[in-house]
Amino acid sequence: MTPDVREPVTFDAEGLPHLTYVRRTLPCGLDVIVHQDQSSPQVCTSIWYRVGSSDERADLTGFAHLFEHVYKNSLHVPQHHYELLRRAGSTDANASTGSDRTAYYEVVPTHELDLGLWLESDRMGYFAPAMTAERLAQQQQVVVAERRQRYENVPYGAEKFEIAAALYPIGHPHRYLTIGLTEHIESATLADVLAFYRTWYVPANATLVVAGDIEIDDVMARIDRYFGSFPASQRPERPTAHANLTSPVSVTVTDQFAKLTRIHRTWLGPSVFAADECELDLVTAAWTATGTGALWRRLVYETQLAQRVSAWTVNSRLGGELHISVDLRSGADPATVRTILDEEIANPPDPEGLERALTRREAGAIWGLSGLARRAQLLQRYAMYTPEPDGLAADLARYRSVTPTSAAAALARWARPEAIVEIETRPL
């Protein structure tokens, strides 16, 4: 059935949300998704390239993120493109690199739609002629400084590197985090930049989403104008990697920036959209919910051993992770904290806690639909991982199918004592 593009969001009989869209593939291979919402005079132009830190060479880690930094100019945009967007009245513009994708977007007034399309087109097609060794050297310094500021010279920064080194073997891209190694960032060459661009930044490896105050036929014609002349391209094959932890790892770290002792437990987890992903997400949310979560109640309220307790999951195309982090109060006994963690991990998940976590997940998803850029990101995410961009309803249905029994089974499969990494960080 052809979606009614006049209604940007609809709800089915189960109360699940659907984003209306029109999709096509250009002859050059570019995947195009258009989402019409004429409730406000704004347009979001979002482009995701299917490349992230999981696609990097073992001797050139951090390169996807470094490339994001140099991808600011092109042949016809000698100045920083954010300056052009600011003068055009853009209300939001950003870029980010993850393990599986690099994302760029801008939100502009409706009458500046051509600017957003032109900027992304010029970067996609005409980045190389404007790239210089001087620009690369400048951004290498910026990224190395970012690594120091956000990973090295911050409280508990060292534990991130210790966890990754324990979970993943040498050569696995997740071992080096998205930020990469300083020596690799500094050794990158102009030839590396251009080879990366010509491999990964081809039209067939990207999805363009245009969302907002547009007419479908008009925006498709504009997209043809800016992207239609690009030559046909092929999506590159992505590398694979595997990890398997068969014995527990325990590391103690001293941290000059930390004020409290922290116990951080991690296990490998399922990949994105794989079985057990939803179960573990709801379990971790239920564990640490303020006032009701089992871990929160025992560690923060009843025993007052912890200042803070957090739990979360990470999921990507090469696998996932399950985390529990506890910041101990001064003088608290780490051994007692470990005993409580062991007991609660072994306990069956609380059915009411799972139900509350599900409600929060659904409420957050629905609330997020109020944002234009957020809807564009949802279309991008589901287009990358699933056959259909309108994947939110199916995703929430997966969460609704979680039961206490399935959650307990998932926890038993992944949070095994023999597959744990525990990092204890002590203040220096």
What are the b/e assignments for 64-97, b being 16+ CB within 10 Å? bbbbbbbbbbbeebeeebeebbeebebeebebeb
How much is the mean pLDDT over the chain? 96
Distances (CA, A) of 268 to 2, 100, 164, 319, 385: 41, 17, 10, 7, 20
CATH 3.30.830.10 for domain 249-427: yes
pTM of the entire predicted model: 0.96
What distance, in Å, lies between the first and last C-alpha atoms of the chain? 63
pLDDT in tens, 305-326: 999 999 999 999 999 999 999 9
Q: What percent of the chain has pLDDT over 90?
A: 96
Torsion of CA 44, 47, 53, 59, to 10 degrees: -130
Residue 21: exposed, middle, or buried by beta-carbon count in 10 A (0-12, 13-18, 19+)?
buried
Contact 46, 377 (CB under 8 A): yes
- pLDDT tens, 106-119? 999 999 999 999 99
pLDDT digits (tens, 9 = 90+) for 116-137: 999 999 999 999 999 999 999 9
Q: Decide: 427 and 163 in contact? Cβ < 8 Å.
A: no
pLDDT of residue 11: 96
Average pLDDT over residues 259-267: 98
Residues of the chain with CATH 3.30.830.10: 9-227, 249-427
- Is the per-residue pLDDT at 196 higher than 50? yes
Tokens 């926890």 sit on residue: 411
| Architecture of the 9-227 domain | 2-Layer Sandwich (3.30)
For 74-93, write each residue's pLDDT tens digit.
Answer: 999 987 888 999 999 999 99
pLDDT tens for each residue of 386-399: 999 999 999 999 99
As a whole number, mean pLDDT of residues 249-258 equals 97
Q: What is the pLDDT of residue 337?
A: 98
| Percent of the chain residues past pLDDT 70, beyond the cut | 99
Instruction: Taking residues 419-423, report their average pLDDT.
Output: 98
Quickly tell me which residue has 């009843």 as its tokens. Answer: 302
Counting Cβ atoms within 10 Å, is residue 409 exposed (0-12), middle (13-18) or buried (19+)? middle
